[in-house]
């Protein structure tokens, strides 16, 4: 089947599978905070020596990037920094009280929003309070906006143990930047890269997006050519998710401005091929890395993992999310914080955990979750017995189109099938099929 026909057939609304079950299908009505803490303590007892990962959500941005699907708060008032940091520290201390000690922290990631909205001094205050002065973590990373990431940010965070930097580039085309209200130049990014390398950062990631409003094939090729010349260690090459019913900022442009169907797929294929030709290796879904980067090495050694932070070369059974809208995961349960800054701050001020929803995973959930993780991280999964008939039935169109191969009790993705990995995972997603796919919940698969 030709590419256009495959696109027409499979470009349906699909989850991105940073978790299973996906958030819209959590059984929140039967969830309680006490259940979450019971599951957390059970997991911590089994995995205490392994350490935990921390995701800290810093939601503030000075400007609205109209393409953005993240939970953000737009303000130029930097007076919000210290009250929010105080709340994060309080939430962390409450978790330490539940666990009965200050746990070993293996990994910290600062996400946003724009973490570099916060001053270097305030970020130092936050990390010192959470990790302890001189606290040692094996992996620390942060997201930076090229327009406001300063030498002081880089230097301060490096001294605190941060060795990975992720820069939100999206596109260098001035016409696209104008439409999405996000501006940075190649000169700014080149300087940040140089400064970071001199200071000692070991891995630098660029985020790029295809399918943005106003994006053209010529413009994307120019962007990726400039990116390749800068030689970042990792590149996340995402599909733009157009969900204006969830993110009103995306109403600043219309469907007429957005590449779709075969045009969008051509952007993806062209960008992907340029990265592969430049020596980047494809990692799971949407990610590329040089062979020298730990993400590639984890993929080769089958240690790659995927969670709410995306792909990681380190796995800890416990991920605690701090901050507004953050999601925590302890293997047997998920919990998500309040989605508004006001509610998050108010609940902590009242001495309450700001958890507003969650899900306790059943044995069946855990079984399906592992198969989806295998597909997302290894491009294959194996059953102990034969492949379930219902999964085979759902996969039949993908098998017929040679996107998926069945060998005995193993399901694997063909090279062409990697572009349709979300569709493959949907065949395993019992909760989605039980509730029926809801197109307003997810972006399109390609």
Condensed to tens digits (0 to 9), the pLDDT of residues 186-202 reads 999 999 999 999 999 99
Predicted confidence (pLDDT) per residue in 85-143, tens digit: 999 999 999 999 999 999 999 999 999 999 999 999 999 999 999 998 656 677 899 99
Model confidence at 8, pLDDT cuts 50, 70, 90, reads confident
Please tell me which residue, 154 or 251, carries the higher pLDDT value. Answer: 154
CA–CA separation, 446 and 425 (whole Å): 14
Q: Structure tokens of 297?
A: 């090495």
pLDDT at 1 over 70: no
Asked if residue 17 lies in contact with residue 372, where contact means CB atoms within 8 angstroms, the answer is yes
Q: 437 pLDDT exceeds 80?
A: no
Handedness of CA 411, 412, 417, 422 (dihedral sign): positive
Which tokens in the block code for residue 170? 């999206």
Q: Tell me: pLDDT of 439 over 60.
A: no
Q: Which two tokens stand for residue 73?
A: 């708060």
Lowest mean pLDDT among 65-79, 158-172, 247-261, 369-383: 247-261
Question: How far from 58 is each of 67, 87, 116, 123, 309, CA to CA, in Å?
Answer: 18, 11, 9, 10, 14
Q: What radius of gyration do the chain's Cα atoms show? A: 21
Q: Indicate the pLDDT class of residue 66, thresholds 50, 70 and 90.
A: confident
Cβ-Cβ contacts under 8 Å for 398 (sequence gap 6 or more): 10, 404, 417, 420, 423, 424, 427
Residue 436 pLDDT greater than 90, yes or no: no
Cα–Cα distance, 290 to 279 (Å, whole number) = 7
User: Mean per-residue pLDDT for 199-213?
Assistant: 96
Ordered structural domains, the chain, with CATH: 20-360 (3.80.30.20), 363-435 (1.10.10.920)
| Predicted local distance difference test score (pLDDT) of residue 21 | 95
**pLDDT for residue 418:** 87
Closest CA to 105 of 320, 327, 404, 421: 320
Residue 52's pLDDT is: 95
**What is the distance between the alpha carbons of residues 281 and 293, in angstroms, rounded to a whole number?**
10
Has residue 440 got a pLDDT over 60?
no
Q: What is the mean pLDDT of residues 416-431?
A: 92
**Residue 18 or 320, more confident:** 320
What pLDDT sits at residue 416?
87
- Output the pLDDT for position 261: 83
pLDDT of 294: 94
* Average confidence (pLDDT) over 196-224: 96
Contact criterion met (CB below 8 Å) for 243 and 334 = no
273-282 long-range contacts (CB < 8 A, ≥24 apart) are: 274/221, 274/224, 274/225, 274/228, 275/224, 275/228, 275/235, 275/237, 278/228, 280/235, 282/418
Q: Which of 55, 50, 24 is nearest to 323 (CA)?
A: 55
Three-state secondary structure readout of the chain = CCHHHHHHHHCCECCCCCCCCCHHHCCHHHCCHHHHHHHHHHHHHHHHHHCEEEEEEECEECCCCCCCCCCCEECCCHHHHHHHHHHHHHHHHHHHHHHCCCCCEEEEEEEECCHHHCCHHHHHHHHHHHHCCCCCCCEEEEEECCCCCCHHHHHHHHHCCCCEEEEEEECCCHHHHHHHCCCCCHHHHHHHHHHHHHHCCCEEEEEEEECCCCCCHHHHHHHHHHHHHHCCCEEEEEECCCCCCCCHHHHHCCHHHCCCHHHHHHHHHHHHHHHHHCCCEEECCCEEECCCCHHHHHHHCCCCEEECCEEECCCCCCEEEECCCCEEECCCEEEEECCCHHHHHHHHHCCCCCEEEEEECCHHHHHHHHHHHHHHHHCEEECCCCCCHHHHHHHHHHHHCCCEEEECCEEEECCHHHHHHHHHHHCCCHHHHHHCCCCCCCCECC
Return mean pLDDT, the chain: 92
Query: Of all residues in the chain, what percent carry a pLDDT higher than 70?
Result: 96
Confidence of residue 307 (pLDDT cuts 50, 70, 90): confident
How confident is the model over 258-265, as a mean pLDDT?
88
């Amino acid at each position: 089947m030709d590419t256009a026909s495959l696109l027409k057939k499979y470009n349906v609304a699909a989850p991105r599978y940073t978790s299973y079950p996906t958030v819209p299908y959590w059984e929140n009505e039967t969830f309680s905070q006490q259940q979450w803490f019971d599951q957390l303590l059970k997991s911590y007892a089994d995995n205490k020596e392994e350490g935990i990962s921390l995701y800290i959500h810093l939601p503030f941005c000075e400007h609205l990037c109209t393409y953005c699907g993240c939970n953000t708060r737009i303000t130029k008032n930097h007076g919000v920094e210290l009250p929010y940091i105080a709340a994060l520290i309080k939430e962390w201390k409450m978790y330490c009280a539940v666990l009965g000690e200050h746990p070993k922290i293996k990994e910290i990631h600062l996400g946003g929003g724009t973490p570099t909205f916060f001053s270097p001094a305030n970020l130092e205050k936050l990390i010192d309070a959470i990790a302890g002065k001189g606290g040692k973590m094996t992996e620390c990373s942060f997201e930076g906006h090229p327009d406001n990431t300063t030498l002081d940010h880089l230097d301060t965070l490096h001294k605190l143990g941060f060795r990975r930097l992720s820069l939100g580039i999206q596109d260098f085309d001035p016409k696209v930047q104008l439409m999405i209200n996000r501006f940075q130049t190649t000169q700014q990014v080149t300087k940040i890269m140089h400064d970071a390398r001199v200071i000692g950062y070991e891995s630098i990631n660029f985020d790029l997006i295809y399918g943005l409003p106003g994006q053209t094939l010529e413009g994307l090729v120019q962007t990726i050519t400039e990116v390749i010349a800068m030689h970042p260690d990792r590149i996340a090459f995402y599909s733009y998710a157009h969900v204006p019913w969830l993110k009103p900022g995306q109403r600043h442009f219309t469907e007429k401005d957005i590449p779709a169907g075969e045009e969008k797929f051509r952007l993806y294929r062209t960008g992907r091929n340029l990265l592969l030709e430049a020596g980047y290796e494809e990692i799971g879904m949407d990610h590329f890395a040089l062979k020298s980067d730990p993400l590639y090495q984890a993929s080769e050694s089958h240690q790659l993992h995927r969670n709410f932070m995306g792909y990681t070369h380190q796995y800890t059974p416990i991920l605690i999310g701090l901050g507004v809208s953050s999601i925590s995961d302890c293997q047997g349960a998920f919990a998500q914080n309040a989605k508004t800054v006001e509610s998050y701050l108010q609940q902590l001020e009242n001495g309450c955990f700001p958890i507003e929803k969650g899900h306790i995973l059943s044995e069946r959930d855990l079984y399906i979750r592992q198969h989806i993780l295998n597909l997302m991280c290894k491009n294959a999964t194996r059953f102990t017995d034969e492949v379930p008939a219902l999964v085979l039935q759902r996969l039949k169109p993908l098998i017929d189109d040679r996107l998926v191969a069945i060998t005995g009790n193993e399901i694997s993705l063909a090279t062409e099938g990697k572009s349709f990995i979300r569709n493959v995972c949907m065949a395993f997603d019992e909760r989605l099929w039980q509730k029926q796919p809801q197109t307003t919940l997810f972006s399109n698969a390609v």
